[in-house]
Amino acid sequence: MDVMRTGKELGTEAVTITGGGEPLMHPEINEILDGIDSLGIEMGLVANGTLFHKVQTRSLKKLIWCRISSSDELKTQLGRIGLSLSEWFDEIEDAVTRAKNVDWAFSHVVTKTRPNFDLIAKIVKFANTYNFTHVRLVNNIFIADMLEKARTMDKIKEKLEKRKIDDSKVNYQKRDKWTKGTKKCYIALLKPVLGADGYWYPCCGTQYALAKPSYDYEPSMRLTDKKLSDGLRDIIENQKVFDGSMCVKCYYSKYNEALKIMLSEVKHLKFV
């Protein structure tokens, strides 16, 4: 909350609450949602769909959007905590019903060359039934090249069409194309990422930006040596643009191109 109060003072308008880890495991998640909302900061949430019962309806309704994460390993992962797939869908259905004002979506990671077609079909049909904004199907970034070589996304689309399942809400994200990082990374200034270690990082792609990808954030990519509120103040007040030339893989180059254009001065703006 101290970080959020500092953020509000510095002009923060929105925050995404996300991993490493399941954010709804936090024992004070309702107080966090209520507190951020009280500051007038809009909230998005990324959760795995298993703990929505912990969130009070009044707090859940304060979200602008919520994206539910899953993968081809979902059934195995749910089994480890004693949940079935049907119970998972029931948990999500209850949350969606309680907070119809929230823009709901799925983000499903494809992890195999022969993905779980039945699970993906159920997710897409659920999204259609409950008017989700979209379903993001994304290749596991660590084996994206292999999955693309196997035409995994194309096969999923073909299967859905064969089963006559409407896939108009589905975004197929192959992750097989990237660019080298740019010298001036404006994304880091627009929406810096606060890691669980209290340090600030340029984007959510920090883990896989370098030659050797990792599941952890890379210390050499910290935006500042300062942590938490002090770090955010340092970044914003000193307008610290990240040097992204160190990034081997960047999936956000088009964002940077757009931001660069927006920051450019146009002499005869009325004629553009």
Residue 17, H or E segment:
strand 14-17
Residue 249, pLDDT score: 87
Whether 269 shows a pLDDT value over 90: the answer reads no
Task: Read off the pLDDT of residues 194-246 as tens digits, 9 standing for 90 and up.
Answer: 998 999 999 988 888 887 877 788 899 999 999 999 999 999 999 989 999 99
The reply to whether omega before 35 is within 30° of 0 (cis) is: no
The boundaries of the domain holding residue 20 are: 2-173
Q: How far apart are CA 153 and CA 72, in angstroms?
A: 13
Give the CATH number of the domain where residue 148 resides: 3.80.30.10
Does residue 69 lie in a domain region? yes
Residue of 213 and 101 predicted with greater confidence = 101
Lowest mean pLDDT, pick from 101-115, 119-133, 135-149, 157-171: 135-149
**Average pLDDT value for residue range 127-144:** 93
Q: Which residue, of 126, 143, 173, is where some domain finishes?
A: 173
Do 87 and 160 fall within a single domain? yes
Total domains in the chain come to 2
Report DSSP state, residue 182.
P
Question: Are residues 35 and 133 located together in one domain of the fold?
Answer: yes
**Sheet hosting strand 14-17, strand order edge to edge:** 14-17, 42-47, 65-71, 103-110, 134-139, 170-173
* 195-212 residues labelled b (16+ CB within 10 A) or e (exposed): beeebbbbbbbbbbbbee
Half-sphere exposure of 110 (CA within 13 A, CB side): 33
Residue whose entry in the numeric block shows the structure tokens 């897409």 = 124
More confident residue, 272 or 259: 259
Q: Is residue 269 part of a domain?
A: no
- Overall pTM > 0.95: no
Domain-embedded: residue 40: yes
